[in-house]
Amino acid sequence: MAGVEQTAACRPPARRALPELRLAARLRACLPFLMIALLLAAWEIVAHSPLVTPFMLPPIEAVADRLVADAAGGDVVRNLSATLARTAIGFSLAAAVGIALGILMVHNRIVFWFFDPVISAGFPVPKVALLPIFILWFGLYDVSKIMLIAANAVFPVVTATVLGLRGVDRHLIWSARSLGAGERRIAWEIVLPAALPQILTGLQIALPISLIVAIVSEIVMSGDGLGGAMMEGARSLDSPAVFAGIVEIAAAGYCLVKLVELARRRLLVWHSETTTNFG
Amino acid sequence: MTRTLTIATRYVPLLILALAWEAAPTFGLVSTHTLPTLSSVLVALGKLTLSGDLLVHGASSLYRTAAGLGLAIVAGTTAGLFMAWSGLVQAIVQPVIRLFYPMPKSALIPVLALWLGFGDGSKIALIFLGCLLPITIGAYNGARGSEQTLVWSARSLGASRLRMLWDVMVPSALPELLAGIRIALAYSFILLVSSELVAAQKGLGYMIGMLGEGGVYDAMFAMVLTIGALGFFADRAFQHGARRILQWQE
């Protein structure tokens, strides 16, 4: 209830809706679509101009044809599901290990002493460079890709879990304890919900990283998946296939980001952050 | 003195890991083909340094990162600040950002290689594109959050709009801008290594791929170690610099 009152209080005083203002607001609402239309138009014009060859920039209709053909032939579904499956498995592995390790680090001094420098030194290291090593260790197929995804995604999860658990208000725990709550109940009903926003932020950073690494590993190692299909197109100098690949990957990324935002809003309905939003 | 001592003890676990790395292949726990000993990797690193390979490929990688990230910092900061400064710019740029932000930029590697070839250009462009959005968003969020009272006071004191941009919005945007640049720094190394692994004739990522395919594993591990160290020290140096820049805040 407090949240509702707050948003009402923050709202600027109602402006008299002058007709020209309303028109401006309406134009403004159209602007995003206008910009996207402009971008597409620019692509089409440049593609048909003598500035570029159709090889460098195929026109939209060629790419669209390819997308439709890929979709009809089942290639899109096959490659998309291969990429998303790797992303999901690697990400889940990173989430499980990361959250578990974070909890252990907060509860056990020795675990913290050992892993804190390892995590903080390993975080900024570009783990993609491990790819050839992982190929050596885990072979040319799915396992090395999944391990690489997990190796990249685990760091933000651990860091966020530790920060989240550390940041839980001590008074909440003390009050619960003095009211007779057992440790297990405190963990589930106080600590976990209080740390959840931070942990979710960590997962939210880890998921796009997982997709990026999945695509990179597919591009480098070839095989199936969106990245592999795109690389195959590039090798056979089939540029509509490359551009169709970019569109498919962009769409996958877009859906993933939206999905996480939705999940976050669902899980944190009770939290005050849900009322504020990025731009 | 005590400070260096605490830092030293803090990194003892890394030393333990290094010892474990040396011990595992030495005592036959894992084969030296899957994990060369740390000492042989360090010897390979020494050889690569002496032969000049490390310098040539390292310099080319660093040049690509610095150029791509530098361009992204200039363009991203400018774009972010202008977005916060003018509603019209914001309305025009925001949809484009929303469209391109969720796209994994590594998908652009093949196209950029197609357009700009296997040299520096395609890597610099990839790093530029990958780093641009986090920096723009950092600058925009930071500048947008400048305290309204500061903006009003500056205006009432007769500051021009441009003056306000420079004297009020830029300083208040700094913390978030620097946070954005730090994310971009991490991206720049990831994109550098990926693009060099896929399509390059020079650079540390290219060397890693080539040495791995050739089965020269100690040298390959040495190159991986080098890139890891570069990423680590770049981040630490940046954090150090950022703290310096932000000293004027309490």
A181 min Cα distance to partner chain B (Å) = 36
Question: What gap in Å lies between CA B169 and CA B160, rounded to an integer?
Answer: 13
How far apart CA A260 and CA A200 sit, in angstroms, is: 9
CB spacing of B13 vs A35 below 8 angstroms: no
- In this predicted structure, what is the pLDDT of residue B98? 81
Distance CA B197, CA A132 (A): 9
Q: Confirm if B112 and B125 have CB atoms less than 8 A apart.
A: yes
pTM of the model: 0.83
Q: Half-sphere exposure of residue A25, counting CA atoms within 13 Å on the CB side?
A: 7
How confident is the model at residue A85, as a pLDDT? Answer: 92
**Nearest-by-Cβ selection for A129 from B10, B141, B205:** B205
Q: Which residue has the tokens 């950002």?
A: B97
Are B99 and A231 an interchain contact pair (Cβ–Cβ within 8 Å)? no
- Residue A13 DSSP label: P
Residues in chain B: 250
Q: What is the pLDDT of residues B217-243, one digit of tens each?
A: 888 889 988 998 898 899 889 989 888
Binary contact (A126, B208; C-beta < 8 A): no
How big is chain A by its Cα radius of gyration, in Å? 24
> How far is residue B203 from each of residues A1, A207, B6, B23, B50, measured CA to CA in Å?
58, 28, 36, 31, 17
Q: What's the complex ipTM?
A: 0.81
Cα A149 → chain centroid? 13
Tell me how far apart the alpha carbons of residues A231 and A253 are, in angstroms, rounded to a whole number. 18
Q: Give the relative orientation of helices B170-198 and B217-245 as an angle to the nearest 10 degrees.
A: 170
CB A126, CB B130: distance < 8 Å: no
pLDDT value at residue A197: 84
DSSP letter (8 states) at residue B146? S
A181: left (phi over 0), alpha (psi -120 to 50) or beta: beta
- 3-state class (DSSP) for residue A264: helix
Pairs from B79-82 (Cβ < 8 Å, separation ≥ 24) = B79/B132, B79/B136, B79/B139, B79/B140, B80/B135, B80/B136, B80/B137, B80/B138, B80/B139, B80/B140, B80/B141, B80/B142, B80/B143, B80/B173, B80/B177, B81/B139, B81/B140, B81/B143, B81/B165, B81/B169, B81/B170, B81/B173
Confidence (pLDDT) at A63: 87
Which residues in chain A show pLDDT less than 70?
A: 1-21, 271-279
Give per-residue burial for B106-132: e unless 16+ CB within 10 Å, then b.
Answer: bbbbbbbbbebebebebbbbbbbbbbb
> For each successive 10 residues of chain B (250 residues), what is the average pLDDT?
72 86 83 83 89 89 94 93 83 84 85 85 92 90 76 75 75 86 90 88 88 85 90 90 79
* Contact: A246, B107; criterion CB under 8 Å: yes
- Tell me which chain B residues have a C-beta less than 8 angstroms from the C-beta of A149: none
Q: Which domains does chain A have, with CATH numbers?
A: 74-275 (1.10.3720.10)
Residue A55 CA to its chain's centroid (Å): 32
- What span, in angstroms and rounded, lies between the C-alpha atoms of B245 and A117? 25
Kindly identify which residue of chain B lies nearest to residue A235, measuring between CA atoms.
B110
**Helix (DSSP H) and strand (DSSP E) numbers for chain B:** 12, 0
B13 contacts on A by Cβ (under 8 Å): 113-118
Q: In whole angstroms, what is the distance from residue B113 CA to residue B103 CA?
A: 18
Number of helices and strands in chain A (H, E): 12, 0
Which superfamily does CATH assign the domain made up of B53-248 to?
MetI-like (1.10.3720.10)
**Domain boundaries of chain B, sorted by first residue:** 53-248
- Chain B residues close to A118, C-beta within 8 Å: 13-14, 17
Q: Which residue of B has its CA nearest to A222?
A: B198
Report which of A78, A213, A56 is spatially closest to residue B110, judged by C-alpha positions: A56
Task: Residue B197: name the closest of A227, A123, A236 by CA.
Answer: A227
